[in-house]
Amino acid sequence: MLSAAKEDADLYNRGKRAAEAHNLDVNLASSVLAMDLGAIEQTLRINLDLEAITPALEGFAITMPATGRIIVYLDALELDAIPDEAIIAVDNERAGYAALPFSNIQEMHISNVCSISLRIGTEVLSVVGGEAVEVVTRVHLPGRTGEYEQHPVLYVRLPHAALSRMDLTRLEPVSCITALGGRLDWDGSRGFAPIRIDDLRLTDPTAAEASRKVA
């Protein structure tokens, strides 16, 4: 009897949360259509599965340097956050760990960077609508002095028209970024190198809005 009452309470609470989220979505809709960054951020926090996404990135923020132009600044996982060992069978009863080749770790890193850039970019585009969103993805890379510095390593514009013709669940993320004309500099022997983005006019010095942290 207590178990049934607990199940009823859980169902009620889940239904209440869903109804509250729906009502908030409705109330935010007009503000999102008006490209209000605060409303866009709040809608993303409500609808994104942050628990599932957070382990795949450091965080992301959005900004609007010009009316209708949405830029996503995404901080991807660093190379040292990528698994560097594989589980292997030692014999019929035991398992062990073996170091992965450095090139394999680099390949996992670029796959992570490209896939999370596509995931977050398409999620933002689904909220804001419009023709496209742009994604700038950054990681920390060793500088000349040995200190790690944050650099952009990927830029891609995600047009709604192109994405609507793609099945992203079936596409390999690196090839997808390349097909969309993405900008990146990567080599299996050294990993990422910084890319230039100063020609893209990503920052409008007259804009009052700074980058907004979403996750």
pLDDT digits (tens, 9 = 90+) for 31-58: 665 566 777 777 777 777 777 888 888 8
**C-alpha span between 130 and 35 (Å, rounded):** 10
Both 17 and 115 in one domain: the answer is no
Q: How far apart are CA 196 and CA 172, in angstroms?
A: 25
Read off the pLDDT band of 29 (50, 70, 90): low
Structure-token match 């398992």, residue found: 95
Output the pLDDT for position 114: 95
Mark whether 74 and 176 lie in a shared domain: yes
Strand partners, 49: none
Share of the chain above pLDDT 90, in %: 29
pLDDT at 3: 61
| Dist CA 37 CA 62 (whole Å) | 8
| Phi then psi dihedrals of residue 176, to 5 deg | -65, -45
Give CA–CA dist 168/191, Å, rounded.
24
C-alpha torsion sign, points 34, 36, 39, 44: positive
Sheet holding 183-184, edge to edge: 183-184, 148-159, 132-142, 69-76, 57-66, 212-213
Instruction: Assess whether pLDDT exceeds 60 at residue 30.
Output: no
142 shares its domain with 119: yes
Task: Give the pLDDT of residue 109.
Answer: 94
What is the C-alpha separation between 113 and 136, in angstroms, rounded? 11
Which residues are within 8 A (CB) of 185 and not within 5 positions of it... i.e. 6 or more apart?
A: 153, 192, 193, 194, 195
100 and 9, same structural domain?
A: no
- What are the pLDDT digits (tens) for 93-119? 788 888 888 888 899 999 999 999 999
- Per DSSP (E only), the strands in the chain are 57-66, 69-76, 85-89, 95-99, 132-142, 148-159, 183-184, 186-187, 191-192, 212-213
Distance, in Å, from the CA atom of 169 to the CA atom of 79, rounded to the nearest integer, reads: 24
Same domain, 7 and 94: no
Identify whether residues 48 and 151 lie together within a single domain: yes
Same domain, 1 and 70: no
- Region of residue 212 (left: phi > 0; alpha: psi -120 to 50; beta: else): beta
Do 8 and 83 share a domain, yes or no? no
Q: For the segment 149-158, what is each residue's pLDDT rounded down to a tens digit? A: 889 999 999 9
Residue 20: half-sphere exposure toward Cβ, Cα within 13 Å: 7
My answer on whether 1 and 50 are in the same domain is: no
Comparing 66 with 208, the larger pLDDT belongs to 66
Say if residues 166 and 125 touch (Cβ distance below 8 Å): no
Do 44 and 24 share a structural domain? no
Stated pTM of the model: 0.75
Residues 8 and 102 in one domain: no
Which residue has better confidence, 104 or 26? 104
pLDDT at res. 208:
41
User: What is the total count of domains within the chain?
Assistant: 2
Domain range for 29: 1-34
Higher-pLDDT residue of 185 and 64 is 185
Same domain, 193 and 171: yes
Pick the more confident residue, 85 or 119: 119
Token code pair at residue 148: 């790690």
Mean pLDDT of 158-168: 86
